[in-house]
Amino acid sequence: MFKLLKYAKRYRFFALISPVLMIGEVIFELLIPQVMADIVETINGISVSGNKEEAVSTIIMLGVKMLGLAVCSLFCGASAAITASFAGMGFGAEIRNALIRKVQTFSFSNIDRFSTASLITRTTTDVTTVQNTFLMLIRGLFRAPIMLVVALTICIKKSAEVSSVFAVSLPIMIIALAIAGPIALKRFRAMLKMFDEFNASIQENFANIRVVKSFVRSSHEKKKFKKANDDLMNAAIYAEKIIILGEPALMLLMFLTILSILVISTKAIAEQTLAVGEFTAIFTYIMQILMSFLFTILMLAQLFMSEASAKRIHEVLKEEPDIKDPENPIESVSDGSIEFKDVSFAYAKGKDVLDGISFKIESGEMVGIMGATGSAKSSLVQLIPRLYDVDGGEVLVAGKNVKSYSLEALRESVSMVLQKNVLFSGTIAENLRWGNENATDEELKRACRIADADSFVEAFPDGYNTDLGQGGVNVSGGQKQRLCIARAILKKPKILILDDSTSAVDTATDARIREGLRKEIPDTTKIIIAQRISSVSDCDKIVLLEGGKINDIGTHDELIERNEIYRDIFNSQQKGSADFDLQGGAV
Ligand SMILES: Nc1ncnc2c1ncn2[C@@H]1O[C@H](COP(=O)(O)OP(=O)(O)OP(=O)(O)O)[C@@H](O)[C@H]1O
Ligand SMILES: [Mg+2]
């Protein structure tokens, strides 16, 4: 928690002024019982002196004094609460900002490590918990302990006999809390983990609601959600139980304390060692002592509980991005040539996904990558824009190791259409401009022409201003793929990577897109990953992957000639998808 305090820096004025105002409130509040005691004593005095008039004017004076003190206390209290809110809310907002900024620097493997759901819980639930604690601390950190100490001192001064009860009851309460606290903390940590799982369940379900519905998996998903929800509820009950049981126990102790004090005070009043007026003041102070004690405990409990959240936030903030700019990075990529030199790569240690990969691509070439699903095609190309870093060997772009470029320069030059690509809510034009904010309308149209997207975009009544809906739901799968390609082209990259990006378009369109790429951006290196041989057959060379290793490299004709696997795939695709593929393939 204390490590996070630096995020309160901008709001330190509010965070510091608030406790000062609080202290003012406490002082005024503590003076009131004394005035009250004076009033009671004055009333008591009437029967002795019989001077009613003087007593009434004294009481009115004292009443005005009490009102004044109450107004001052109210003013300080209200301003303290307002300034505390400013500080607390600002603190929360700063942490959320820092978290979002940090996550933006994460590489794919950093994100793999935390999971998206957990990052969401940490940015929302955890930050709210820490923010509330901070707010409570500003409000109570000085107020409750000062109130406790001052009220206790006054009480002891007024009657040591009555105050002696605290010597027994306060230590008992503290010991009970010291035992219950750590148990509660452990249970709250477990509950937060359940929260992660719960969020993961909701996130997956809502994000993929269409898949869930089309597979009629609603009832399965409901069951899965119910389990996550029940688990969370049980963990929460288990954690709360200790508080639910602790609260009445604490109350009991407090009432026993009050009862003992009443018994002792009654005896003292009867023996005339304590005046009635003094007793009213002492009793008010005692209530203040108990309330501040209770508040201090609540504050400590909240501090303990938010420790788990603070730790989870801190974990994200201190995570070092795996992939960073080098010192003195190269700021521009001179051409689109690529070389893999004995590259190996693993997502998890010891399980190599790619092994001994070496090949070269000249600038401006069009290269196909083929292989069965899971043969590590996507893994291979992700190493070029450094979405992941190699474990062995090196990847060179324009003759220099990719690690020597600034990430921005490298990723500006390497445009990749990911296999699982998405569009965002907004218009088509807005989505395309993700590739290049300053692109002119003419450039948008050109990119769409190359990606064979211009005709269907222009057929929409609103053309480029058509709203895509969340996640781009308003276009078909093939249309979405073509928009993603256009978006990547708009970046005017040196290297363009299409990872299975034409799987949802028919072969004729597929061929038109390749034709467009070849003609319109001849200097850009183009890497095309595909499942269909027709998508790569006209490439300058084709890399055939098998189980994370290179099986063969050559042109379509060479591979047909010498590579049995390639020939088998070709033959099966010729037969399997005869009518459509052959038609398209002929274009
Ligand atoms: N983020 C990841 N974390 C861990 N393992 C992964 C990850 N992504 C892929 N893998 C594993 O790496 C291997 C290669 O996957 P990759 O996605 O590169 O294959 P692919 O050839 O692109 O397959 P496809 O044709 O289905 O797209 C697979 O065994 C897969 O399980
Ligand atoms: Mg893939």
Per the CB < 8 A criterion, the answer to whether 194 and 231 are in contact is yes
Give the pLDDT band of residue 581 (cuts 50, 70, 90).
very low
Ligand 2 centroid to residue 355 C-alpha, Å = 17
Q: What is the pLDDT of residues 12-50, one digit of tens each?
A: 888 888 888 888 888 888 888 888 888 888 888 877 777
Per the CB < 8 A criterion, the answer to whether 523 and 556 are in contact is no
CA distance 285 to 330: 71
- Residue identifier of the C-alpha nearest atom 28 of ligand 1: 374
Atom of ligand 1 nearest to the CA of 109: 1
Alpha carbon distance, N-terminus to C-terminus of the chain: 65
- Residue identifier of the C-alpha nearest atom 26 of ligand 1: 373
Ligand 1 centroid to residue 198 C-alpha, Å = 26
Q: Which residues line ligand 1 (CB under 6 A)?
A: 112, 347, 353, 371, 373-379, 419, 500
Q: What is the pLDDT of residues 222-281, one digit of tens each?
A: 888 888 889 889 988 888 887 778 778 888 888 898 899 889 888 888 888 888 888 888
pLDDT for 155 equals 86
Give the pLDDT band of residue 125 (cuts 50, 70, 90).
confident
Could you confirm whether domain 338-585 is CATH 3.40.50.300? yes
pLDDT for 316 equals 93
pLDDT for 318 equals 92
Probe residue for ligand 1, chosen from 114, 349, 373, 378 as the CB with the greatest number of ligand atoms within 8 Å:
378
Probe residue for ligand 1, chosen from 353, 369, 391 as the CB with the greatest number of ligand atoms within 8 Å:
353
Atom of ligand 1 nearest to the CA of 545: 21
Structure tokens at 360: 């070269």
Structure tokens at 258: 């009050």
Tell me: pLDDT of 587 over 60: no
Probe residue for ligand 1, chosen from 347, 390, 545 as the CB with the greatest number of ligand atoms within 8 Å:
347
Could you confirm whether domain 2-318 is CATH 1.20.1560.10? yes
Ligand 1 centroid to residue 376 C-alpha, Å = 6
CA distance 487 to 429: 9
- Residue identifier of the C-alpha nearest atom 10 of ligand 1: 347
CA distance 103 to 258: 53
Atom of ligand 1 nearest to the CA of 112: 1
Atom of ligand 1 nearest to the CA of 419: 27
Mean pLDDT of the chain: 87
Any idea which ligand is nearest the CA of 418?
Answer: 2
User: How would you classify the pairing of strands 541-546 and 366-371?
Assistant: parallel
Domain boundaries, the chain: 2-318, 338-585
Ligand 2 centroid to residue 370 C-alpha, Å = 10
- Residue identifier of the C-alpha nearest atom 3 of ligand 1: 347
DSSP SS3 for 354: strand
Helix residue spans in 415-551 (DSSP H): 428-432, 441-450, 454-459, 477-489, 507-520
DSSP code per residue over 105-138: H--HHHHHHH-HHHHHHIIIIIHHHHHHHHHHHH
